[in-house]
Structure 1
Amino acid sequence: MTEGTTSPAAEGVDTLSRLEQEGEIAADYLEGLLDIADLDGDIDMDVEADRAAVSIISDSDRDLQKLVGRDGEVLEALQELTRLAVHRETGDRSRLMLDIGGYRAKKRTELAELGAKAADEVKSTGAPVKLDPMTPFERKVVHDAVAAAGLRSESEGEEPQRFVVVLPA
């Protein structure tokens, strides 16, 4: 190797340590928010699919429900604030994913089922299926489920009314 280059394995380690650093910064930021809001919660960090994943878990989901909000609106806002906190510390844009009280995990399961059901409908009718407007996270999960079913999909419309269309093969 030439001077100044790194091996692919070293780049993988660098990426992992960078994502772990993002998780640490996010955890510190979120712990501060929990303290300010006087809410109990434990922070769990992981790296999933080339992004830092941070979860707030608690024995009292009622407390955490305030942080999720209606249809995950507060969760989305907290995720953006956390990404900004990471960006402020690292100078790099973060793709960190935040989950609170298992909301995203549960939502991911529901959306994967919705995508598979829409794909089945398209396979049986041969006609495209348009789904209701969704957040970028929700659309990504549906796109992945449709692809796993062997079909293709695309997003149409403008935010916040952007939606998924499942197309015949």
Structure 2
Amino acid sequence: MTIFFNQSQAEEKIEDFLRVLTDTGGLNLKFEILACNGQVQPDTDDPVGEGSQSVSSDSPATTTLPCIKVELSGPDTALLQARNGELLHSIEHVAAKILRLEPDAHDLISFDAENFKANRDRELQERADSAVQLVRSTGRPYSFPPMTSRERRMLHLALAKSGLPTASSGEVPRRFVVLYPEGFKPGQPTQPATEDRTRAIRNSFRRR
């Protein structure tokens, strides 16, 4: 599927949304809206229709180079990072809805708070490396715990380097990634790894 994404209009809508959160919603946060190259995007007077990009939702570029990146900082950053970034992910999800992005295209935008997602990406890479070693040594599939669509795509990319087959299984919000041994045809596991599910349940009780 191809998505026509107007960069300047999207940035304006995101800025309006963030001002509602900080001014009306009372969140004590600062924000910067960045271009794909990591530079602060300057204000633009582009007329409607100019600056549009045609982006394939299943292209790897949409998973690694978001068209809009928002950096959040300030006293309330801890609130965004609490409960495994629950509020941060919720804000990003609402922003995607404002831009009317389909679920598979949510990676066109990315919100982060003091490198929370960057640290999470490093953790995903480490888990991917460990899973590859485990699958190769046991010859059995490995199921990761449920993740967001963005994290699943990041995980697929990290695992692709191994040459082992991967697939996503389950229904949102319990959808998860499965890594298979070489030559194994991806099936449909019924649930993620027991160890990961047990750890997730234990952590949820600790947060209460």
Report if TM-score (shorter chain) is over 0.5.
Answer: yes
What does the per-residue CA deviation read over 1:30-55, in whole Å, with 9 as the maximum and x for residues that have no partner? 13312222413131312273432322
Structure 1 residue 144: deviation in Å? 1.0
Gaps of 5+ in 1: 1-13
Alignment correspondent of 1:35: 23
| Cα distance in structure 1, aligned partners of 2:92 and 2:150 | 12
Q: Does 1:77 align with 2:65?
A: no
List per-residue Cα deviations over 1:95-151 (Å, max 9, x = no partner): 322222322121111112111211121122222111222222221111111102221
Q: Does 1:46 align with 2:32?
A: no
Q: Pick one of 151, 171, 195 that aligns with 1:158.
A: 171
Matched ranges for 1:51-70 at <5 A: 51-58=66-73, 60=74, 62-70=75-83
Rounded Cα–Cα distance in structure 2 between residues aligned with 1:20 and 1:148? 35
Structure with greater proportional helix content = 1
1:155–1:165 contact (8 Å) kept in structure 2: yes
Aligned-pair RMSD on alpha carbons? 2.4
Cα distance in 1 for partners of 2:111, 2:137 equals: 36
Could you tell me the percent identity over the aligned residues? 30
TM-score (norm. length: structure 2): 0.61
Q: Deviations over 1:77-112 (max 9, x none)?
A: 11121123333xxxx656322222322121111112
Structure 2 stretches lacking a partner, 5+ long: 38-60, 183-208
Q: Letter of the aligned partner of 1:54 in structure 2? A: K
- TM-score, normalised to structure 1, is 0.74
Q: In the alignment, which residue of structure 2 is the partner of 1:138? A: 151
Q: Equivalent of 2:137, from 96, 116, 124?
A: 124
- Measured in 2, the distance between the counterparts of 1:21 and 1:46 equals 13
Aligned partner (choices 109, 130, 133) of residue 122 of structure 2: 109
**Aligned residue type for 1:70:** R
Instruction: Say if 1:152 and 1:30 are closer, same or farther in 2 by CA, change over 3 A.
Output: same
How far apart, in 1, do the equivalents of 2:116 and 2:95 lie? Answer: 17
The question of whether the paired residues in 1 share the 8 Å contact of 2:34 and 2:71 is answered with no
